[in-house]
Structure 1
Amino acid sequence: MTVPRLPRWIKPQLTRLAKEAPSGDGWLHEVKYDGYRMHARIDGRDIKLLTRTGLDWSHRYRRTIEALGELKVKSAYIDGELCALNADGVPVFSRLQAAMDENKTDQLVFFAFDLLFLNGRSTAQLPLTQRKEKLKRLFKREIGGLRYSEHVLGDGPQFRAHACKFGLEGAISKQADRPYAPGDRGIWLKSKCLNREEFIVVGWTDPEGNRSHIGALLLGYYTDDGRLHYAGRAGTGITDKELKRLAGVLTPLHAPKMPLVAPPPRDSRFGSPLKLSKVHWVRPELVVEVTYLTWTEDNLLRQVSYQGQREDKPANQVVRVIPHPPRTR
């Protein structure tokens, strides 16, 4: 009999955005964590933290690696999220980025929410509820920097409402009886408290007044046909320190031509006029996360606030539909 080998990397199961968490007893609901999606691969004393694209980031989080080494397992493959918490225990993405920038990652917390392999056996084909039962047993003993992600069954709208009340990002709802499905976007749903998404930086404007380094970031996204569309600007929520850092990251990405399928509108009812002559275009490689109020009818973001850079997500994965596509006759 062939013993299953611990996978080197498993493509993560993904989520689909929903306006509300689903109701019904067939759904399991967890907190949506505001951090970096990470897979913990444990093979004896060889422990790795892998990103959503399979990159080995173990060297960045030595304390988390040490904590995972305290789990009583021979081998395991755990899906989870690495977060930085505020004083109330709420994950805050900007704190995670700051911890990485300052190389102070000892206080990060890895929230484990799925188990795909355990002690020589694949568990990925088991129903989610059974996978989580096995996972929870690994976390009977409290280990600093590690937490098991609790869940509730049924009543998704109420769960999401409570998550929003406590200042969390939202809820993740999962079909409780389904196996793990790498890359799938239909079995797991995310419903957010704030509109919060990743976008690609396509350019930046010159600063004005007392502001230094960068005025605003110009944002974009891909559609399924591979075309890059303009989404709007992000200027608020960026500290002076972050403006300086972003300028250093964006300067080497300078592009001689606009990477968008169509130029941004020069005027908008919800912002100051955009002077294209003062825009510095860049190669579409840098991904950032922002919050926003809504999309305008002309497909521009309103009341955008910068949250941080997403080093864990490649630009080609920032794909969405056009919010208000033109009507066809």
Structure 2
Amino acid sequence: MTKVPRKSSQPLLRETDAPLRSQARKPRDPDQPQLQLDPMPDRIEPCLALLKPKVPVGPDWLYEIKWDGYRLAVHIEPGHVRIITRGGHDWTDRFPSIAEEAVSIGTTAILDGEAVVLDEQGRSDFGALQQALGGRSGKRHASEAIFLAFDLLYFDSHDLSRLDLSDRRHFLEDLLEGSAGGIRLSEEFEGNGQALFDAACEHGLEGIIAKRRDSPYCSGRLGDWVKVKCIQSDSFFIVGYEPSTAALGGIGRLLLAAYKGDNLVYVGGVGTGFKERPTLKLRADLDRLKTSRPPIDLKRKGVVWVQPTLIAEIEYRAWTDDGKLRHASYKGLRDEQDNAAVYQVDPTAS
């Protein structure tokens, strides 16, 4: 594969014990105008990637590996760190190694990135991350999780969100140069995006993210960031299950739903990917959520309907013409607080 790093750099997962530290600043030129200081925001709604079937190409795009973990914002102030989920929940206590590393940065900053647990090949493993956190609503501290930072929104009392992505990345790379602890740089590539995507798929990665190099940081899913997946993976509500005496945990098939506007719509089911011990617990959790009224507009005999509370992470190959998942496989449960990640069906779709 031909890939051209934007600048010479060591591999992301290099082996080093060097601590993460911010670089020393040069003395300010007294003739330079004093820049206005910006108050640190309590929260910045994240910029989200729009799913596309093809890799956008051309000199306007920069590329990154798509990581499979939890999207987080790390807010750093002198002596104080907050780790905020995509849905706005404070998970600082659940990622102690990331919080400890953030303190050492020693200046004000807001890092945008992904908390992951890596396997022996350096690939992010969502199931391992969930296990480290103690499963859905677990109380464990995921000390083995690391934070892969891909954007810098606020630094040294200045709002960077209005700068071009290429400028924000320049500051981020300087800040995290040589880091290999709880916070690391998510490497960026330019050049042949299709070749990077092909290599990502070949090595069993989830896919890539393409970003416009001149784009400011804009909250929402506007298209400046694009994700292209080797295998689709998204989050859906479990709205029921079909019992089975032969299947693991007595679950023959889970019924799934996504948002369409403010409503839930049926997107099909999943009957593979289950593991014995987690599935037994899943069945017990589902039985505590039984309801007599279907939470979606669907009539089907033999279904045990449940309240739409549990959020399943599902791998799938494609969508059918009538809006159902094809070749779906169950990966695990997301946290109950992570309903911001539930898949949104295009409201204009029939």
**TM-score relative to the length of structure 2:** 0.83
* Paired letter, 2:69: G
- Asked if 2 retains the 8 angstrom alpha-carbon contact of 1:128 and 1:180, the reply is yes
| Aligned equivalents of 1:172, 1:316: Cα separation in 2 | 17
Shift of 1:324: 7.7
| Aligned equivalents of 1:212, 1:74: Cα separation in 2 | 50
| Aligned equivalents of 1:3, 1:323: Cα separation in 2 | 43
In 2 relative to 1, CA 322–74 (structure 1 residues): closer, same or farther, beyond 3 Å?
closer
- Asked if 2 retains the 8 angstrom alpha-carbon contact of 1:67 and 1:143, the reply is no
Equivalent residue runs for 1:50-199 within 5 Å: 50-71=84-105, 73-101=106-134, 103=140, 105-199=142-236
Shift of 1:302: 2.5
Indicate which of 80, 83, 93 corresponds to 1:49: 83
Shift of 1:210: 5.5
Aligned residue for 2:248, secondary structure, equals coil
Shift of 1:184: 3.4
* Paired letter, 1:198: S
Equivalent residue runs for 1:259-278 within 5 Å: 259-263=295-299, 276-278=300-302
Indicate which of 218, 223, 226 corresponds to 2:255: 218
Aligned residue for 2:171, secondary structure, equals helix
* Paired letter, 1:252: R
| Aligned equivalents of 1:142, 1:299: Cα separation in 2 | 44
| Aligned equivalents of 2:258, 2:293: Cα separation in 1 | 17
Look up the match of 2:29. Answer: none
- Asked if 2 retains the 8 angstrom alpha-carbon contact of 1:287 and 1:315, the reply is no
| Aligned equivalents of 2:92, 2:169: Cα separation in 1 | 24
Shift of 1:213: 4.4
Percent identity of paired positions between Structure 1 and Structure 2 = 33
Aligned residue for 2:288, secondary structure, equals helix
Q: CA RMSD for the aligned pairs? A: 2.1
Aligned residue for 2:194, secondary structure, equals helix
| Aligned equivalents of 1:258, 1:75: Cα separation in 2 | 48
| Aligned equivalents of 2:206, 2:341: Cα separation in 1 | 24
Look up the match of 2:4. Answer: none
Segment drifting more, 102-111 vs 236-245: 102-111
Shift of 1:190: 0.3
- Asked if 1 retains the 8 angstrom alpha-carbon contact of 2:97 and 2:146, the reply is no
- Asked if 2 retains the 8 angstrom alpha-carbon contact of 1:233 and 1:304, the reply is yes
Shift of 1:309: 1.6
Segment drifting more, 305-314 vs 176-185: 305-314
| Aligned equivalents of 1:203, 1:322: Cα separation in 2 | 23
Q: Deviations over 1:111-143 (max 9, x none)?
A: 000000001111111100110110111112334
Aligned residue for 1:198, secondary structure, equals strand
- Asked if 2 retains the 8 angstrom alpha-carbon contact of 1:70 and 1:143, the reply is no
Shift of 1:207: 2.9
- Asked if 2 retains the 8 angstrom alpha-carbon contact of 1:227 and 1:261, the reply is no
- Asked if 2 retains the 8 angstrom alpha-carbon contact of 1:29 and 1:151, the reply is yes
Figure out how many residues of one structure are paired with residues of the other and give that number: 311
Indicate which of 17, 42, 51 corresponds to 1:17: 51
- The answer for unaligned runs of 5 or more in structure 2 is 1-34
* Paired letter, 2:64: E
In 2 relative to 1, CA 257–78 (structure 1 residues): closer, same or farther, beyond 3 Å?
same
In 2 relative to 1, CA 6–18 (structure 1 residues): closer, same or farther, beyond 3 Å?
same
**TM-score relative to the length of structure 1:** 0.88
In 2 relative to 1, CA 98–323 (structure 1 residues): closer, same or farther, beyond 3 Å?
farther
- The answer for unaligned runs of 5 or more in structure 1 is 264-275
Segment drifting more, 198-207 vs 29-38: 198-207
Aligned residue for 1:262, secondary structure, equals coil
Aligned residue for 1:49, secondary structure, equals strand
Confirm or deny that 1:227 pairs with 2:263. yes
Confirm or deny that 1:314 pairs with 2:339. yes
Aligned residue for 2:251, secondary structure, equals coil
Q: Deviations over 1:54-77 (max 9, x none)?
A: 100011111221122222x31100
| Aligned equivalents of 2:221, 2:348: Cα separation in 1 | 22
Shift of 1:182: 1.2
